[in-house]
Amino acid sequence: MGYSDLFIGHTIGYIGNALDPVADAYAGGATTDVFNMANFHNGAFVMVQGAIEDAGISNIVTLLACDDATPSNSSTMAFRHRSYTASTDAWAAMLTAAAAGYNFNSNNAVANGIHVVEFSASEVFADGGNGYGYVQLSIAETANKTVTAGILFIGLDPRHNDGTPSGAKT
Protein backbone atom coordinates (compact mmCIF):
# COMPACT_ATOMS: atom_id res chain seq x y z
CA MET A 1 0.00 0.00 0.00
CA GLY A 2 1.48 3.35 -0.97
CA TYR A 3 1.33 6.51 1.10
CA SER A 4 -1.45 7.89 -1.10
CA ASP A 5 -3.65 4.99 0.08
CA LEU A 6 -3.03 5.65 3.77
CA PHE A 7 -5.89 8.10 4.29
CA ILE A 8 -8.00 7.07 1.31
CA GLY A 9 -11.59 8.16 1.72
CA HIS A 10 -10.64 11.00 4.08
CA THR A 11 -10.32 14.73 3.47
CA ILE A 12 -7.28 16.28 5.10
CA GLY A 13 -8.34 19.47 6.88
CA TYR A 14 -5.20 20.23 8.89
CA ILE A 15 -1.55 19.16 9.09
CA GLY A 16 0.82 20.51 11.71
CA ASN A 17 3.74 19.63 13.94
CA ALA A 18 2.78 17.85 17.14
CA LEU A 19 6.37 17.21 18.26
CA ASP A 20 9.18 18.96 16.40
CA PRO A 21 11.74 16.63 14.78
CA VAL A 22 14.83 16.20 16.94
CA ALA A 23 17.47 13.65 17.90
CA ASP A 24 16.53 11.66 21.03
CA ALA A 25 12.94 12.84 20.61
CA TYR A 26 11.50 10.63 23.34
CA ALA A 27 14.24 11.20 25.97
CA GLY A 28 12.75 10.78 29.42
CA GLY A 29 9.27 10.52 27.89
CA ALA A 30 7.47 13.04 25.71
CA THR A 31 4.00 14.38 25.01
CA THR A 32 2.84 16.07 21.85
CA ASP A 33 1.03 19.35 21.61
CA VAL A 34 -2.68 19.16 22.39
CA PHE A 35 -5.19 19.31 19.52
CA ASN A 36 -8.86 20.26 19.52
CA MET A 37 -11.08 17.73 17.72
CA ALA A 38 -14.09 20.08 17.49
CA ASN A 39 -13.42 20.81 13.80
CA PHE A 40 -12.78 17.22 12.66
CA HIS A 41 -14.56 13.88 12.45
CA ASN A 42 -11.28 11.91 12.53
CA GLY A 43 -7.64 12.44 13.33
CA ALA A 44 -4.22 10.85 13.13
CA PHE A 45 -0.77 11.27 14.56
CA VAL A 46 2.07 10.36 12.20
CA MET A 47 5.34 9.47 13.91
CA VAL A 48 8.23 9.84 11.44
CA GLN A 49 11.44 8.27 12.67
CA GLY A 50 14.95 8.50 11.29
CA ALA A 51 18.00 7.05 12.99
CA ILE A 52 17.52 4.68 15.92
CA GLU A 53 20.19 3.57 18.37
CA ASP A 54 19.57 -0.18 18.05
CA ALA A 55 16.85 -2.81 18.10
CA GLY A 56 16.60 -2.63 21.92
CA ILE A 57 14.44 0.50 21.74
CA SER A 58 11.22 0.54 23.75
CA ASN A 59 8.71 3.41 23.69
CA ILE A 60 5.10 2.88 24.74
CA VAL A 61 2.72 5.21 22.92
CA THR A 62 -0.65 6.06 24.44
CA LEU A 63 -3.43 8.22 23.01
CA LEU A 64 -4.87 10.64 25.56
CA ALA A 65 -8.31 12.24 25.49
CA CYS A 66 -7.84 15.59 27.28
CA ASP A 67 -10.27 17.99 28.96
CA ASP A 68 -8.74 21.17 27.50
CA ALA A 69 -5.71 22.76 25.83
CA THR A 70 -3.59 22.51 28.98
CA PRO A 71 -5.00 19.28 30.29
CA SER A 72 -5.56 18.91 33.99
CA ASN A 73 -7.53 15.75 33.24
CA SER A 74 -6.87 13.10 30.63
CA SER A 75 -7.51 9.44 30.06
CA THR A 76 -5.97 6.87 27.79
CA MET A 77 -8.01 5.45 24.97
CA ALA A 78 -7.80 2.63 22.42
CA PHE A 79 -6.64 3.47 18.89
CA ARG A 80 -5.92 1.97 15.51
CA HIS A 81 -2.37 1.88 14.17
CA ARG A 82 -0.13 0.76 11.35
CA SER A 83 3.57 1.00 10.57
CA TYR A 84 5.67 1.52 7.46
CA THR A 85 9.09 -0.03 6.99
CA ALA A 86 11.37 1.80 4.54
CA SER A 87 13.60 -1.21 3.88
CA THR A 88 10.66 -3.24 2.55
CA ASP A 89 8.65 -0.24 1.30
CA ALA A 90 5.52 -1.74 2.86
CA TRP A 91 2.76 -0.80 5.28
CA ALA A 92 1.66 -3.31 7.90
CA ALA A 93 -2.01 -4.14 8.36
CA MET A 94 -4.19 -1.88 10.50
CA LEU A 95 -4.29 -3.16 14.09
CA THR A 96 -6.02 -2.01 17.27
CA ALA A 97 -4.18 -1.04 20.44
CA ALA A 98 -5.80 -1.15 23.86
CA ALA A 99 -5.94 1.95 26.04
CA ALA A 100 -2.73 0.74 27.74
CA GLY A 101 -0.89 1.73 24.54
CA TYR A 102 1.37 0.14 21.96
CA ASN A 103 5.13 -0.23 21.82
CA PHE A 104 5.91 0.76 18.22
CA ASN A 105 9.67 0.62 18.61
CA SER A 106 9.83 -2.68 20.45
CA ASN A 107 7.56 -4.24 17.84
CA ASN A 108 8.84 -2.34 14.77
CA ALA A 109 12.40 -1.22 15.61
CA VAL A 110 13.54 -0.02 12.21
CA ALA A 111 15.28 3.16 11.14
CA ASN A 112 13.31 5.42 8.81
CA GLY A 113 9.97 3.95 9.84
CA ILE A 114 6.61 5.67 9.99
CA HIS A 115 3.97 4.86 12.60
CA VAL A 116 0.37 6.08 12.32
CA VAL A 117 -2.13 6.37 15.19
CA GLU A 118 -5.73 6.82 13.97
CA PHE A 119 -8.90 7.66 15.93
CA SER A 120 -12.29 9.31 15.50
CA ALA A 121 -13.51 12.46 17.20
CA SER A 122 -16.51 10.53 18.51
CA GLU A 123 -14.10 8.16 20.28
CA VAL A 124 -12.33 11.15 21.86
CA PHE A 125 -15.61 12.79 22.91
CA ALA A 126 -17.05 9.49 24.21
CA ASP A 127 -14.02 8.83 26.45
CA GLY A 128 -15.86 6.95 29.15
CA GLY A 129 -18.58 9.59 29.26
CA ASN A 130 -16.14 12.36 30.17
CA GLY A 131 -16.83 14.28 26.97
CA TYR A 132 -13.22 15.39 26.49
CA GLY A 133 -12.66 17.17 23.17
CA TYR A 134 -8.88 17.40 22.93
CA VAL A 135 -6.24 14.82 22.11
CA GLN A 136 -2.49 14.25 22.43
CA LEU A 137 0.05 11.44 22.31
CA SER A 138 2.22 10.40 25.21
CA ILE A 139 5.43 8.46 24.61
CA ALA A 140 7.02 6.70 27.58
CA GLU A 141 10.71 5.97 27.05
CA THR A 142 10.94 2.54 28.68
CA ALA A 143 14.52 1.92 27.49
CA ASN A 144 17.06 4.76 27.33
CA LYS A 145 17.83 4.64 23.62
CA THR A 146 18.15 7.43 21.06
CA VAL A 147 15.44 7.83 18.41
CA THR A 148 15.49 10.71 15.92
CA ALA A 149 11.83 11.54 15.32
CA GLY A 150 9.09 14.06 14.81
CA ILE A 151 5.31 13.75 15.01
CA LEU A 152 2.62 15.36 12.86
CA PHE A 153 -1.05 15.75 13.70
CA ILE A 154 -3.51 15.41 10.82
CA GLY A 155 -7.10 16.61 11.25
CA LEU A 156 -9.26 14.51 8.93
CA ASP A 157 -12.75 15.05 7.54
CA PRO A 158 -13.40 18.66 8.60
CA ARG A 159 -16.84 19.33 10.03
CA HIS A 160 -17.09 22.54 7.94
CA ASN A 161 -15.34 21.79 4.67
CA ASP A 162 -15.29 25.23 3.08
CA GLY A 163 -11.83 24.95 1.49
CA THR A 164 -10.10 26.80 4.35
CA PRO A 165 -7.89 24.72 6.64
CA SER A 166 -9.51 24.24 10.02
CA GLY A 167 -7.67 25.16 13.20
CA ALA A 168 -6.64 22.41 15.57
CA LYS A 169 -3.58 23.42 17.53
CA THR A 170 -4.29 24.90 20.93
Identify which of 55, 44, 63, 52 has the alpha carbon closest to the alpha carbon of residue 3.
Answer: 44
So what's the pLDDT on residue 57?
78
**Residue 2: pLDDT over 50:** no
Q: How far is it, in rounded angstroms, from Cα 97 to Cα 100?
A: 8
Domain ranges of the chain: 3-158
Q: How far is it, in rounded angstroms, from Cα 55 to Cα 167?
A: 38
Query: What is the CATH code for 3-158?
Result: 2.60.120
What size, in residues, is the chain?
170
So what's the pLDDT on residue 166?
60
Instruction: Give Cβ neighbours of residue 54 (< 8 Å, ≥ 6 apart).
Output: 109, 145
**Residue 3: pLDDT over 50:** no
Q: What percent of the chain has pLDDT over 70?
A: 85
So what's the pLDDT on residue 1?
36
Query: The pTM is what?
Result: 0.89
In tens, the pLDDT along 62-93 reads 999 999 899 999 999 999 999 888 777 888 88
Q: How far is it, in rounded angstroms, from Cα 29 to Cα 52?
A: 16
So what's the pLDDT on residue 53?
79
Average pLDDT over residues 146-155: 93
When the pLDDT of each residue in the chain is averaged and rounded to a whole number, the result is 85
